[in-house]
Structure 1
Amino acid sequence: MGRWAQPVLAGVVTAVVGFASSFAIVLAGLRAVGADPEQATSGLLALCAAVGLTAIWAGLRYRMPISIAWSTPGAALLVATGGVPGGFGTAVGAFVGCGLLITVAGLFAPLGRWIAAIPGPLAAAMLAGVLLDLCLAPVRALAEAPALAVPVVLTWAVLTRFARPWAVPAALAVAVAAIVATAPPGGPAGAALRPVIEPTVPGWSLQAAIGLALPLFLVTMASQNIPGMAVLAGYGYRPPLRPLLIGTGLATTAAAPLGGHAVNLAAISAALAAGPDAHPDPERRWIASVTAGTAMIALGLAAGPATALVLLSPPVLVEAVAGLALLGALAGALTAAVAEPGRREAAVITFAVTASGVTVLGVGAAFWGLLAGAAALLLRPRAPAAPAADPGRDRAAAVPGGG
């Protein structure tokens, strides 16, 4: 394959897989926090544009395959959080707050270090708690809409075994076919097939700042930006983190008034552009990330039809596709949460509180889960000190037959 064709194709695949595997999660998240169909369409288009432009800038600036994505775990957090007091405008204000926090993390190096200092098991447990309800959706769909859900789940299961990168896009294609086949004539009310730009005036509330902006920032940093840098390092690329945080933070802030929730380094799809399949020569793989950014902008023009499909389908089917896409992330988060025996109980507390979905004082469960886990970690009893060794006993034990 030509020196240009291979990375260009890899970039297109990166964009298609990233879009198809998680746009349903984004739309579900925006709708959960109060967006109407046009606002959700605008948010998806804004995210595609922000992701694409940032990826093109990063690839050309650093000549590295730096893939950019929207925060899929962040969208799952929106689903788990649900409506916020003040409606979608207040949620948009929280998106702006998240973007500003990411930007400050790039400008103010200690903040990035503080986020990295959050115990890994607690961050992973919070993410697992956020993802759990969506990952249960395929089971609910099999019970509530078996005629639609069974082909989707079977497609995903078979391709997970034989062509894993295409399992979720193929499952989505089967779901789309089922939706179109069973859709009523006339299409859904309130959905525009054309590209839509719908500005929303950001609102502000303390509850949304604590319960949505801060958890969205933490989830995006812990589950996207930090792992995204690790994936790049695994392939031998070490771009400077601070300008990338500033760039993605500014992109998030710019996309927020149009409905976009968070832009960040890609973690899940990063290997598609950074790995050897993109090009044998590591110096040529940056082309894949630039192409992925260009393709993502083009895919943004499909935000309207994507929203229409979501509105036509039973809500549980859309959530089922999203849950299938997030099962791998849930497995990784659960594994990381219980990896350290000394922090296992605190991680389980974080997971349980976050997964409960409770709202206290207008603040969502993700914040309280992290707070509860941190308190459990601070209050745990110290391990007893090891007893001092008895030198005489040690000497006796070292002599055969001694005691």
Structure 2
Amino acid sequence: MPKIAQGGCELDDAGRKLLALLVALLSAVKPGDKKTYISYKLVHDQLGLPSLGISCEESLRRQGLTALTTWTHDAGVPAITGVIIDTSAMAPEEDYFRLSGRSANDFSWWTSEIEKSKAFDWSDYLLPNLEIEPHTLSSPTLATAVEEANGAAWTVDELRSAVEAYLDMMTRDRAGKPYVKKQYYEKLAGKFNRTAKAFEYRMQNISYVLSLMGRDWLRGLKPAKNVGAQVAGQIEQLLAEAEGRQVAPIVAFEIAVRDEVKKKQLPVPTGSDSPQPFTSASTQYARDPEIKAWILQQAGGVCECCKKSAPFKAADGMPYLEVHHVRRLADQGSDQVSNAVAVCPNCHRELHYGAYSKQLVEQLYLSVERLVCE
């Protein structure tokens, strides 16, 4: 478990998110070179915080900064919040020194704490699934730092090995064979110069990529969004290679969309009056039309997931339902009546992309008697 309650001081959610961001940015910070440090406004904007004061400094203080500075002192870890500075004074706020038990403007100690922060292994103090997005960073250096922290600095061999380990665990999980996730992480850590925790987080990024592809992901490795579009695209391609399939790339596009949606007051985009076509290959699966026909007939125009009537009729007058394979064909599921259900478009999308898709699958196995778990 992450060590978030040390020295009698428990770090709150705002402080945890701030810590995750600062750790991600550390690689771009050079101790003593204040030009590489981070402004209060940049941090405030990056976290997407509401304004709770007359300045970004005051607002940030109320939303994680004071809590994190106090926590680092009580926990006996480096005073990492010193990387945030007032760009006019080129120094941290006075509270940074006071809450850390130091005299005001103890600059030699401050520089020392930044050096310690860069050398310190923060992995035990970070929570998974904390989202760190580089899209709002105004500094290219800092944006690159976040990408590196999120995985852009990972080699293809590291990513490939993580993907192969993930798929091996998934295969064993589906076959009901025992396995220990931690042993996989430790084996990878021994092979590459990274911690086991880093590989655990990377596995959660793989789950996120699978979720964007509408695929099932390994239980216990909840999708973590803190991955850049470039690395996510690499993971998508490596998954296809490992499974011997061809895919039309969609993940980088979907992450870019999500990055844009999170921005405030998006301007009306110009778009393109002549979008350029492109050709891509993807693996398709041969399906039996008799299976689909039988499933639709059994459903009688009613969604087998939400139990509601089909939302509309197709041009030929048939109630419009879609046939979904509970264990997806891309995940080696069978094309048999014991693995297929008729569902409305909403339920179909939720089964592929919903936050509670696994619960819906469990519900289907309980409510549709012909289904057999594969």
Do they fold alike, i.e. is TM over 0.5? no
| Superposition TM-score, scaled by structure 1 size | 0.19
Query: Larger Cα Rg: Structure 1 or Structure 2?
Result: 2
Name which structure has the greater RCO, CA cutoff 8 Å, separation 6+. 1
| Structure with the higher helix share, 1 or 2 | 1
